[in-house]
């Protein structure tokens, strides 16, 4: 148990579906992140939230929409995805301003069909 | 922007020592971190270097040379359970963003 919980662990969705990924952290951190991990590619930073405010959007397509209602919860809303969006989506948290040690969830394995 | 280079794969035998190198190019720098990820698992934090030199944590050590934009992770007394992917990562100046290298897949053989 890492203190960062992601649901669901696996998700299969069609290109016209709308779904959401959820992340919850119980570590008292105030920064949360979404990363995408594709096969044979580096971990790609998607979004950063510090104290519930989005501080980074790493040129992510608008079909990915993040939401951070409080410092403990982070969502990634998905709609009209493409097959190339199939990947492992990882949520992480850290103390704001100290991204040296991030704690990751187990990830959601997303398959777009 | 930030980019990191590390070997894609390393193989070593049980009990040996292995060094995984990482070179980086950054527009800002807030330290070099290392993470371990087993297949199907989440990345877990191993070590962090903000200043030049060697940091030791048990069998694992990490080194940083800021003038060379270079660091490495040293794993001693390798065990089978050390077979995993290892990622180096750099933080930006504000310390609110981690950029990862492509990862090095370490295979430990008997």
Q: pLDDT tens across A89-103, in order?
A: 999 998 876 667 889
Beta bridge partners of B24: B4
Asked if A102's CB is within 8 angstroms of B42's CB, the reply is no
The alpha-carbon gap from B7 to the nearest alpha carbon of chain A, in Å, equals 12
Q: What is the pLDDT of residue A98?
A: 67
Q: Which residues of chain A have pLDDT under 50?
A: none
d(CA B85, CA B78): 14
Pairing mode, strands A73-79 and A64-70:
antiparallel
Q: Do A99 and B100 touch (CB under 8 A)?
A: no
Q: Return the pLDDT at B87.
A: 95
| B80 CA to centre of own chain | 18
- Specify whether the CB–CB gap between B79 and B13 falls below 8 A: no
DSSP tag of B41:
S
Taking only the tens of pLDDT, chain B with its 110 residues reads 678 999 999 999 999 999 999 999 987 777 899 999 998 889 999 999 989 999 998 999 999 999 999 999 999 999 999 999 999 998 876 666 788 899 999 999 99
Q: Which of A25, A40, A29 is nearest to A75 (CA)?
A: A25
Rounded to a whole number of angstroms, the distance between the first and last alpha carbons of chain B is 41
Q: Do residue B103 and residue A100 have CB atoms under 8 angstroms apart?
A: no
Q: What is the pLDDT of residue A2?
A: 54
Chain A nearest-CA distance from B43, in A, is 6
Give Cα B5 to chain centroid, integer Å: 11
Distance, CA of B98 to CA of A102 (rounded, Å): 8
The residue of chain A nearest to residue B94, with distances taken between CA atoms, is: A97
Burial class (CB in 10 A: 0-12, 13-18, 19+), A73: middle
């Amino acid at each position: 148990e890492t203190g960062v919980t992601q649901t669901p662990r696996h998700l299969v969705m069609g290109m016209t579906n709308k779904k959401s990924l959820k992340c919850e952290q119980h570590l008292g951190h105030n920064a949360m992140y979404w990363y995408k991990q594709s096969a044979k590619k580096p971990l790609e930073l998607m979004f950063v939230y510090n104290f519930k405010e989005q501080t980074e959007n790493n040129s992510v397509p608008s079909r990915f929409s993040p939401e951070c209602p409080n410092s403990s919860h982070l969502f990634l809303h998905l709609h009209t995805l493409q097959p190339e969006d199939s990947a492992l989506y990882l949520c992480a948290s850290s103390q704001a301003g100290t991204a040296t040690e991030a704690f990751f969830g187990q990830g959601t394995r997303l398959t777009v069909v | 922007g930030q980019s990191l280079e590390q070997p894609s794969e390393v193989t070593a035998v049980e009990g040996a020592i292995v060094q995984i190198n990482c070179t980086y190019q950054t527009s800002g720098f807030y330290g070099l971190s290392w993470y371990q990820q087993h297949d199907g698992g989440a990345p877990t934090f191993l070590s962090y270097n903000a200043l030049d030199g060697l940091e030791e944590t048990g069998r694992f050590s990490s080194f940083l040379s800021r003038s060379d934009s270079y660091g490495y992770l040293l794993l001693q007394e390798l065990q089978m359970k050390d077979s995993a992917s290892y990622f180096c990562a750099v933080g930006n100046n504000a310390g609110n963003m981690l950029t990862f290298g492509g990862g090095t897949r370490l295979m430990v053989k008997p």
